[in-house]
Amino acid sequence: MSIYLNSDKAYENFKCLYGSRYYVDKSFIIEKLNELINTSDRYICITRPRRFGKSSVADMLGAYYSKAVDSKELFDKLNISSCDGYEENLNKYNVINISFNEIPDEMDTYEDYIGMVKNSIKKDISDNYPGINIDDFYNISTMLRATNEKFIFIFDEWDYIFNSNLFEEHQNDFLEFLRNLLKDQPYVALAYMTGVLPIKKYSSGSALNMF
């Protein structure tokens, strides 16, 4: 079962949220994002304080875009169903969905943490694309390019290690990891990240200037 690529976790989370008595329909945001797919403006970063519902929106997007689930019955009841491009983009994409605040207790070093993330993505790609062997590629980007497909990236709390003062000596390495994975890559249909503070707070150079 995939951990990050085409997982059903976001769908299950959003389904529970939709069933709650206090659910508020924010699905119109999907219409705006659909317009940005495969354009030069496809890099989006939403910054808000914690408890502002960023993770809930990230789960909604994962549930809507992922080709691993069938969420039509759910989204047919939401505002987005009346918008242009609704069915055209519904459950049509490979989605890589990572919550960077989910750090296992045994991950004591940055190498352990980022190694887990990288290896999990590689394994997910290999599992979803049997013709792609992990040993034949030196990084995630080359594996993704080899699929000749488009991917949507949803990164929740991308700046968690900064806000929690984790792995301080490796924070530039983390920015470089994101840059290599996302910047100017032909497989990126959309990159949607959430964080607490603006990207320029952490990236003073050009590492993530596409957002």
Q: Are 43 and 211 in contact (CB under 8 A)?
A: yes
**Domain-located, residue 211:** no
Would you say the C-alpha torsion 39, 208, 110, 61 has a positive or negative sign? negative
**Domain-located, residue 2:** no
**Domain-located, residue 26:** yes
**Domain-located, residue 142:** yes
**Domain-located, residue 117:** yes
**Domain-located, residue 155:** yes
The Cα 49–Cα 51 span in angstroms is: 7
**Domain-located, residue 63:** yes
Q: What is the pLDDT of residue 135?
A: 85
Q: What is the count of structural domains for the chain?
A: 1
**Domain boundaries, position 19:** 9-201
* Other beta carbons less than 10 A from residue 25's beta carbon: 11
The Cα 2–Cα 128 span in angstroms is: 8
Query: Which CATH number fits the domain that encloses residue 155?
Result: 3.40.50
- Model confidence pTM above 0.85: yes
Q: What is the pLDDT along the chain (211 residues), one digit of tens a residue?
A: 789 999 999 999 999 999 999 899 999 999 999 999 999 999 999 987 676 778 999 999 999 999 999 999 999 999 999 999 999 999 999 999 999 998 887 878 899 999 999 999 999 999 999 999 888 888 999 999 999 999 999 999 999 888 877 787 888 899 999 999 999 999 999 999 999 888 887 776 667 888 8
Q: Are 27 and 78 in contact (CB under 8 A)?
A: yes
**Domain-located, residue 3:** no
